[in-house]
Structure 1
Amino acid sequence: METHETLPQIISVDDHAVEPPEVWQDRLPAKYRDTGPRIVRAPLKEMTFVGGKFAPKMGAPGDDGPLADWWVYEDLHRPLTRLDTAVGYSRDEIRLEGITYEQMRPGSFSVPERLADMDVNHVQSALCFPTFPRFCGQTFTEAKDRELGLLGVRAYNDWMVEEWCGPQSRGRLIPLTLVPLWDPELAAAEVRRNAARGVRAVCFSEIPPHLGLPSIHTDHWDPFLRACDETGTVIAMHIGSSSKMPSTSADAPPAVGSTITFANCCFSMVDWLMSGTFDRFPNLRIMYAEGQIGWIPYILERADTVWEENRAWGGVADKVLRPPSELFTDHVHGCFFDDASGLRNLDAIGVGNVLYETDYPHSDSTWPRSRQVAEEQMGHLPGEVVERLVRGNAIELLGLTGEGLWGVSAPVS
């Protein structure tokens, strides 16, 4: 690439939306408004993040401590944090602290400001993961009241489709929905409900057993998987979607886990490749958000060796009918935002299996330099390959228009 102007506009497959305070209050039945998710401003007494565990303590009115906006839902008290929305702050200013909506960049929760921040970053369209529900809706999965939990999932999806990705986004925001993970039949119904209005991606856990749910080696998930297979709905798994970030010990500093965030994606991908799922659901496609891609070539090499040499005693001879690397090519997408090592080994991964992301507004985000980062790391690649990585593969996977938009053909200003 010779100049900055040669980089096509980016389609980011991993950004994040911070839900506005009224998402559930505006959509839940009246009887649930006092128990459903709602925002309360209160002091933050203490907050730690050690060994992959996040532990905040909410103070009472009048207590000492900085004020934060808290999501309150059943027994859960979860503050908004600087890590939820760190863009616009220098790296040295980003700390684990509670914040209010006024202390975050408005593009975190407001569509017009989000589009403006996308313009600054050379981003045309973006797929956004949740914040309060967590990356695959664990907040509702852990709740006691299943009826309210299901209503909470549906309310989020309605907000995502009708408001966040509604007309004011002009097709530039791409919907990503949740399912009630505690019931695969209800999950299938929610996939189909949203697919009928054009949604092509759904959140799921990278390692369901970490959430107390069955693994994908069982047939438990078949109704959900069948719905995704039949509707062309991509299963999107974000790091942290098993509520257990990788770490080495309870006293390991967060920097340890931050370095190995890809590890659960690695474990998860091997699970899927050795599960027989892709042979049973041949149209299924999955993607790993924020997992980066540099680790993929060796895992595919090792998986093929195990499949070839050890499948008889390894328990996969009768269900994994092709080499795992072939299954990967047809079914799996890795997502990255800063991975020069992976791009040097792109041939071993596959040009068609890689997607680009910016991670706005998180602390790892390359905003507002995503364009420059892409050009620096992809400068050795042919222009047609760069186009596929930064937008072409996403257009195909997510069923976008040829212009890279969701659900509309209106031009982007």
Structure 2
Amino acid sequence: MATELPRIISVDDHVIEPAHLFDTWLPARYRERGPRPLTAGIGELAYVGGKYRITMDPDGPPTDWWVYEDLKFPYKRNIAAVGFDRDEMTLEGITREEMRPGCWDPKERLKDMDLNHVEASLCFPSFPRFCGQTFAEAHDKEVALACVRAYNDWMVEEWCGDSGGRLIPLCLIPLWDVELAVAEIRRNAARGVRAVTFSEIPTHLGLPSIHSGYWDPFFAVCQETGTVVNMHIGSSSQMPAASPDAPPAVQASLSFNNAMASMMDFLFSGVLVTYPRLKLAYSEGQMGWVPYALERADDVWEEHRAWGGVRDTVPEPPSTYYYRQIFCCFFRDKHGVASIDVVGRDNATFETDYPHVDSTFPHTKEVALDHVKGLDDETVHKLMRGNAIRMLDLDLDR
């Protein structure tokens, strides 16, 4: 029985970008055309069918925005929710001044991690969106590429730079050009970066599918450099929806569906066969669904592989590749923990989702202990930190 919880390594948190990011890190010749911070009123803000509808209103509540080309991006309370009561975690706009400083200040983030029993943290972007869709959708790709590099420089040197390895860099790629993506992976790997964020379902972004061969140079360089491909729910710019007029709670409940669909895509793609050391990580997808998904995938492979089109591309049962190369993560998922032998004691990692509305901050230790009670110390260590250290090749515990 576990008696003491080891310090947690969270593989899915988020950062609110500071207002100075692009003024500081984007080369001067691009700044006029790059993202600009703005504080202005917000008008109507709704979430319908998995998409936000947003307007500016000079008479609305003050909100911090990014303005970039024809995009107006506001920060909302539900993505900077720590410090608010549950019923205050709404879709209203918010300024950085109203946020808990750990949302955007790395020194304050480390203090909040200490309060929350967290040693290290991997943070996804907010304004660039989960895998850099903001820059992929931009018209001027020269500026967009400069923005991707500026964001990565800020992430590595400023956000993570003085943290003693506690803030783990997660970098973007220019999604619109696989050769530029390969170059950016190499540039960041050379300075110790071991994590990149990617879309769970690239075709939803108008990009080639993982089955097409287009992304093979990207997968090859990630394998070569030990760079983990991290896919956050919603990194396809859409969430699973049922009825188009369903309340946002429906999308929130179904969000794991994106991770499950993406994992099936990869398991039957042959990518994990061709790149046997490539590591995939599903972020914020939870894991209680994994046992049935693997059972179904193996059954389809056994019974239907000929007409199913995978007889020649997937030589072993799909679960083989999951256990070898895929990591899932959880923060509230007792069903997944109860099924840990099938989910995989070496495949599951933990997250706190700071500062989003789902975050367990500041009660993460209590939540984690409630989930792992009854598990042996070795398994608890793996779930709370050991698997994350192995996945990301961290210097901790060596």
TM over 0.5: yes
Whole-Å separation in 2 of the counterparts to 1:272 and 1:190: 23
Of the three residues 311, 314, 319, the one matched with 1:320 is 314
Deviation string, structure 1 residues 225-280 (Cα, Å, up to 9, x no partner): 11101111000000110000111122110000011110010000000000000111
Q: Is the 8 A contact 2:389 2:395 kept in 1?
A: yes
Report the secondary structure of 1:33's partner residue.
helix
Deviation string, structure 1 residues 157-177 (Cα, Å, up to 9, x no partner): 00000011102x121100000
Whole-Å separation in 1 of the counterparts to 2:227 and 2:388: 13
Residue 88, structure 1, aligned to residue 86, structure 2: no
Report the secondary structure of 1:351's partner residue.
coil
Matched ranges for 1:130-169 at <5 A: 130-167=125-162, 169=163
Of the three residues 119, 122, 127, the one matched with 1:124 is 119
TM-score (norm: length of structure 1): 0.95
Partner of 2:5: 7
What is the CA distance between 1:2 and its match in structure 2? 5.8
Matched ranges for 1:199-210 at <5 A: 199-210=193-204
Partner of 1:410: none
Report the secondary structure of 2:77's partner residue.
coil
Whole-Å separation in 1 of the counterparts to 2:88 and 2:55: 22
Partner of 2:261: 267
Report the secondary structure of 1:20's partner residue.
coil
Partner of 1:211: 205
Q: Is the 8 A contact 2:2 2:374 kept in 1?
A: no
Partner of 2:352: 358
Whole-Å separation in 1 of the counterparts to 2:362 and 2:25: 34
Report the secondary structure of 2:22's partner residue.
coil
Residue 246, structure 1, aligned to residue 236, structure 2: no
Partner of 2:331: 337
Identity of counterpart residues, as a percentage? 59
2:382 maps to a residue whose letter is R
What is the CA distance between 1:402 and its match in structure 2? 3.4
Deviation string, structure 1 residues 143-170 (Cα, Å, up to 9, x no partner): 0000011000000000000011102x12
1:30 maps to a residue whose letter is A
Report the secondary structure of 2:32's partner residue.
coil
What is the CA distance between 1:322 and its match in structure 2? 1.1
2:378 maps to a residue whose letter is E
Q: Is the 8 A contact 2:8 2:120 kept in 1?
A: yes
Superposition misfits of 4+ residues, deviation over 3 angstroms: none
Whole-Å separation in 1 of the counterparts to 2:396 and 2:181: 30
What is the CA distance between 1:31 and its match in structure 2? 2.9
2:156 maps to a residue whose letter is V
TM-score (norm: length of structure 2): 0.99
Whole-Å separation in 2 of the counterparts to 1:318 and 1:330: 20
Residue 107, structure 1, aligned to residue 102, structure 2: yes
Structure 2: segments with no counterpart, 5+ residues: none
Structure 1: segments with no counterpart, 5+ residues: 405-413
Whole-Å separation in 1 of the counterparts to 2:98 and 2:243: 33
Of the three residues 40, 43, 46, the one matched with 2:44 is 46
Q: Is the 8 A contact 2:2 2:377 kept in 1?
A: no
